[in-house]
Structure 1
């Protein structure tokens, strides 16, 4: 099964947590310094706000899979999309160890496809590739 992932950079993390907790009717499932995540089932979304990247507003979208085997067909479609493709592999990013790849749509909107193995204590970093002056990897 798949879950939509949406990430926003925010100025004031505490205010954003209060706003989105009210909007979603529940508290974040994960909070760390500069980071909060809601794993919602209705709608089925992994929604993140973070203040560590310096970006404000919409950061990137993604497709999160529940089983690692689900990644290969998605990665194949990313490669066929005639767009930038960054196979990041296994990495630590946003307090999670994940296997992921990145792309960008024709307007530069960044997308990732990923499987999360487990949570980490560190925020992590990932490679960065510029697409029209925006990093392809939105991590960190």
Structure 2
């Protein structure tokens, strides 16, 4: 199973959850403070809502959720063969889930794409519950880090 992930910044989580519950006719798969996600079957979509007041209506990041770590690795190898660089994040806790993933670098308009699989649920947003930038890499600018402060 693969599906596209769309992570949106929203001004008010409760209002947004109500809207997307109605739009897609499904309940959120996960809700946490400032965070919710929907696992929509039709169309196949992982919709992530990140409460980020003042940034509502903007894209936080994009991704593709895949079935397992082997698929993450195969996709990374295929993209590397095509000349795309990536940043690994294995066995990481981000967005209330333990994940194996990588971030694709070099998108023409600097949009962030992650290819990931969820290994298990987590009660904390990141490995260090005080860490707010689990979806940034070491080369992220201050602006990118701020934008990703509540990502996934």
Contact 1:108–1:134 under 8 Å retained in 2? no
Alignment RMSD, CA only?
2.5
Query: Which runs of no fewer than 5 residues in structure 2 stay unpaired?
Result: none
Q: Secondary structure at the match of 2:108?
A: coil
CA distance in 1, matches of 2:148, 2:78: 20
Which runs of 4 or more aligned residues in structure 1 lie more than 6 Å from their structure 2 counterparts after TM superposition?
none
Shift of 1:98: 0.2
CA distance in 2, matches of 1:69, 1:113: 12
Q: Secondary structure at the match of 1:130?
A: coil
Moved more, 25-34 or 120-129: 120-129
- TM-score, L = length of structure 1: 0.86
Distance 1:139 1:94, change over 3 A: farther
Instruction: Give the number of the structure whose residues are more often strand, by fraction.
Output: 1
Within 5 A, what are the aligned runs for 1:59-74? 59-74=60-75
- TM-score, L = length of structure 2: 0.79
Query: Which runs of no fewer than 5 residues in structure 1 stay unpaired?
Result: none
Report the number of matched residues: 139
